[in-house]
Amino acid sequence: MRLLTVIAQKGTKMICWGDMDTTIRQIRAREILDSRGNPTIETEVELAGGSRARASVPGGASTGQHEAKEARDGDPARFGGKGVQHAIAGIHTTIAPALAGMDALEQRAIDGCMLELDGTAQKERLGANAILSVSLAVARVAAQALRLPLFRYLGGVGMHRLPCPMFNLINAGMHSDAPIDFQEFMIVPRGISNFSEALRCGSEVFHALGEALRSKGFSTAVGDEGGYAPALRSAQEVLDMLLTAICRAGYRPGEEVFLALDAAASTFYDENDRRYHLRKSGNKALSSAELITLYAELVEGYPICSIEDGCAEDDWEGWSQLTRALSKRCMLVGDDLFVTNPLFLQRGIEQGIANAILIKPNQIGTLTETLDTMQLATSHAYTTIVSHRSGETIDSFIADLSLLSPFIKAGAPSRGERLAKYNRLLEIASIKQCPHYQHPTS
């Protein structure tokens, strides 16, 4: 689209006609490193009118089996096989020529074109990492050409609420060497109705927790998502430490601040014996029913408002039992279960499984499909949580996206790649045109 812009002097005399042409002129990609020092992709899109913007994509560690596939070179001589040079070549030789001349405002057509070029169910030809980096950069450059903040471009005038942050303060599972199988222990300041106060709470509890751990002789080194990784022995011990920290920081657990878990249960499920092997903590093997009993005890004893991936991605029977047992008590969030894919979510809706979904754009690989999944979830009363990955960049796209959602999960308030998201939300909160922001308290 060609937008004619007029810059007027003193309201009347025209001094310049600028041509804001949103036709895609050039796409350039490069290999950069993520927060774990692994290669990832950064893509820059330039429009005929001169606007330019870039986006980079994250990578997971506990990736779902049904996620869209990242393209990795597999050359052991570079980055242990994790290089992304082929994916970048695909952007330059296949994607860029096809998108050149298209209108950056036509996000759905652009994403559709990339899906056609790829032609595979899990985007393994061009790679979800390549496709998503272009998809996000196109949205950002379109917003820029229109002189809109990204969140306004994505959601229009309806974007008037900031999300409630979920801070992952203890990193275990595959994200640290802590001897606990559940991957994440979060605090959720749901009872604090202002984003910047909720972020302050996250920071104060994080520091109180550091003090509490140090005073008991535990390590305060942090894991992949910025949370501590102490040698605590059980989920209960971790939850007790979190309650102590919340109180020491001066907040009321269960009123202002709640707890949340991401068990990431696919990472310790064995399909052969259909049991959950808690190898890091005591080497126990639990059936789905026993694991659900453990969750029920935790929910009984602690102010837990959310359990993510409580069962494994292929244990739909376990998920069904879990939903029957706890869906009235807390959010049951499908991450590896739904992989931000409308087809998996549809199956969950039909079978009455889970009541919330994690939204990770790189699990599905385009912005359009991400938005479709969010819309499907919302229209069936599934709560959405926009989420980072454990391997991140300083790109803050998901912060803008999270205004479409009641929650954002972006790690602890520690490490630059995590703070990039929370600080962007502070910036959004301070943009004058935006009304007062509140997140839901129920």
Active site residue 360: yes
Smallest gap, in angstroms, from Cβ of residue 104 to ligand PGA?
A: 29
Of residues 229-288, which lie at the interface with Zn ion (CB under 5 A)? Answer: 262
- The residues that touch ligand PGA, with contacts defined as CB under 6 A, are 60-63, 262, 264, 335, 387, 389-390
Which of 441, 360, 344 is CA-nearest to residue 398? 360
Q: Return the closest-CA partner of residue 431 out of 164, 162, 203.
A: 162
Q: Which of 34, 67, 70, 335 binds Zn ion (CB under 5 A)?
A: 335
Q: Which of 70, 225, 313, 417 is catalytic?
A: 225
Residue 85 DSSP code: H
How far is residue 370's CA from residue 379's CA, in Å, rounded to a whole number?
14
Catalytic-role residue among 123, 360, 409, 421: 360
Residue-level length of the chain? 442
Q: Which is nearer to ligand PGA, 161 or 360 (CB)?
A: 360
For residue 208, how many other CB atoms are within 10 A of its CB? 20
Sheet holding 39-47, edge to edge: 24-33, 39-47, 52-56
Residue 173 vs 230, nearer CB to ligand PGA: 173
Q: Which residue minimizes CB distance to ligand PGA?
A: 60
Q: Is 225 in the site for Zn ion (CB under 5 A)?
A: no
When CB distances are held under 5 to 8 angstroms depending on the partner's kind, the choice from ligand PGA, Zn ion, none that residue 355 binds is: none
Phi-psi region for residue 164, left (φ > 0), alpha (ψ -120 to 50) or beta? beta
Nearer to ligand PGA, 288 or 387 (CB): 387
Spatial strand order in the sheet of 284-286: 269-270, 275-278, 284-286
Identify which of residues 128 and 142 has a Cβ nearer to ligand PGA in the complex: 128
225 labelled catalytic = yes
* Of the candidates 431, 436, 437, 435, the residue with the CA atom closest to the CA atom of residue 147: 431
Smallest gap from Cβ 45 to ligand PGA, in A, equals 25
Instruction: Rank residues 87 and 386 by Cβ distance to ligand PGA and give the closer one.
Output: 386
Catalytic residues: 225, 360
Residues that bind Zn ion (CB under 5 A): 262, 308-309, 335
